[in-house]
Amino acid sequence: MSGDEEERVRRVVSSIPPGKVATYGQVAREAGLGRRARFVGRVMARLPAGSDVPWHRVLCAGGRLAFEPGTESYRRQRACLEQEGVGFAGSRVDLERHGWRATLDELLWGPQHN
């Protein structure tokens, strides 16, 4: 994995504001990595414990969490999202309601803080 590509992924994920989510594929595209959704997943899996990158805001296509329902990882990701106000319909997040659309400023400078 290229350090520059990993940093681009982390920067994009860090731009996703609380209450919003993005898919692995969307993060790959926003980072200029085309269709490398699995690469994004590997970067998220390699984040060190205590990282401030909001990994929990990245989902599989269709708004599904990457973890099997009932696992500790699934419960933790879902709890983090629900704490931010992200709602679920069954086991999926409504991407129309909670999906993030990056602005150029967010991608270049990071999330906007009011």
pLDDT in tens, 27-86: 999 999 999 999 999 999 999 999 999 999 999 999 999 999 999 999 999 999 999 999
- Helix or strand run (H / E) with residue 93: strand 92-93
* pLDDT per position as a tens digit, 72-105: 999 999 999 999 999 999 999 999 999 998 777 7
Q: Where are the alpha helices (H) located in 1-114, listed in sequence order?
A: 3-14, 24-30, 37-45, 72-83, 95-98, 104-109
Q: What is the pLDDT of residue 102?
A: 73
- Ordered domains of the chain (ranges, CATH): 3-109 (1.10.10.10)
Q: What is the pTM of this model?
A: 0.87
